[in-house]
Structure 1
Amino acid sequence: MTTEPALALEHCRPLRGSEHLLDLARASALLGCLPGWRIAEAGVLQKDFTFASYAATLLFVNTVAGLAEREDHHPDLEVGYGRVKVSYSTHDVGGLSRNDFICAAKIEALAAI
């Protein structure tokens, strides 16, 4: 079984095509490695983060943006005062891929620091 730390050590790779689309069983198994994350109705991996200040919120957003650039896999971010919703989906495969879970695990590792 894959664990969150193991996922966080992987790197995203370019994926195109539905053969990289995770089925519900595999996505659910990977979801078990990510506390607080959920698969939303639209088949999007999401988590809400809260922060004590706007500055802390922006620091998190900028850190996630740097991670996204490094991995070349970018989430949708909804930002407000003291809150950020992170949403992952791989458009090139038409839903969830392993890359989504890798990046979520990397964010979890950052949030634990």
Structure 2
Amino acid sequence: MSLRDMNCTFSPAALDAPDVASLLAELDGWAISGARLERRFALRDYHETIAFVNALAWMTHQQDHHPDLLVTYNSCTVSYCTHSAGGSLTNNDFICAAKADALYAQRAGA
């Protein structure tokens, strides 16, 4: 089952470095920044950026796993870690990253 087809779980376990590396290899454009999983999504303009942010907010609410967002006129940087796992990376971070990628690929006019 692909990451984007999975759902977040309650109280996930922190991943070790080999698991993080393996899951990171399944994602395009994502990187580890400190202890966080992060990607910058380039968008056309403010309207497209906010539409993407709104779609992302809906998805993350459904998964009950919320990222930190940095929103600019034509980009959104998404940053995940799992606070309930002490700020470590968990499967939930990679699941939501894959779902964010799917939203980005489906945006209007892409």
TM above 0.5, yes or no, is yes
- 1:57 is aligned with what amino acid? T
- 2:5 is aligned with what amino acid? L
Q: State percent identity of aligned pairs.
A: 42
Shift of 1:46: 0.2
Match status 1:14 vs 2:10 = yes
Q: RMSD of the alignment, in Å?
A: 1.0
Which structure 1 residue ranges, 4+ long, deviate > 4 Å from structure 2?
none
Length, aligned pairs only: 105
Matches within 5 A, 1:41-52: 41=34, 43-52=35-44
TM (norm. structure 1) is 0.90
Structure 2, gaps ≥5 residues long: none
TM (norm. structure 2) is 0.92
Match status 1:32 vs 2:28 = no
- 1:14 is aligned with what amino acid? F
Partner of 1:111: 104
Structure 1, gaps ≥5 residues long: none
Equivalent-residue separation in structure 2 for 1:101 and 1:38 (angstroms): 11
Shift of 1:111: 1.3
